[in-house]
Amino acid sequence: MTERKLRILVAKPGLDGHDRGAKIIARALRDAGMEVIYTGLHQTPEMIVSAAIQEDVDAIGMSIMSGAHMTLFPAVIELLRKQDAGDIRVFGGGIIPDDDIPQLKHKGVHEIFTPGSSTQDIVKWIKEHIPARA
């Protein structure tokens, strides 16, 4: 019996229109053998959570460049909990000040990748920390 491939939803929440980094991450994850669902630009937390549940993903990776990370990450995590999908892990990256990272992790974000993180490091972290859901 083959092990199920990891399914990762890559999302761009909010009004930020810069998705080059998200597309690079999506491609790197696909190249590493994961199934990737890219939601596109301007997603609301509700849209992200709905897509994650519909697609039965193992994790959500959000790219936030707009400065709204302290609102958007917790909103997605809270909506996942309300939908009994709290086992879907959330990670992300973008322009996030180092001082905000501990607070985001305390609120349930599993990892933050800042500019300059290599795609290999992100793939490695996902493979080591994101279990495939049953």
- Whether 1 is covered by a domain: the verdict is no
Domain containing 82 — which CATH number?
A: 3.40.50.280
C-beta of residue 117 within 8 angstroms of C-beta of residue 123: no
- Whether 103 is covered by a domain: the verdict is yes
Residue 128 pLDDT > 60, yes or no? Answer: yes
18-28 pLDDT, tens per residue?
A: 899 999 999 99
Task: Count the neighbouring beta carbons within 10 Å of the beta carbon of residue 37.
Answer: 17
- Whether 2 is covered by a domain: the verdict is no
Tally of structural domains, the chain? 1
- Whether 70 is covered by a domain: the verdict is yes
22-77 pLDDT, tens per residue?
A: 999 999 999 999 999 999 999 999 999 999 999 999 999 999 999 999 999 999 99
Give the DSSP H/E element, type plus range, for residue 36. strand 35-38
- Whether 49 is covered by a domain: the verdict is yes
Residue 1 pLDDT > 50, yes or no? Answer: no
pLDDT at 72: 97
Global pTM value: 0.95
- Whether 122 is covered by a domain: the verdict is yes
Question: Average pLDDT for residues 9-18, to the nearest whole number?
Answer: 92
- Whether 94 is covered by a domain: the verdict is yes
- Whether 85 is covered by a domain: the verdict is yes
**Boundaries of domain holding 76:** 7-127
64-116 pLDDT, tens per residue?
A: 999 999 999 999 999 999 999 999 999 999 999 999 999 999 999 999 999 99
pLDDT at 2: 55
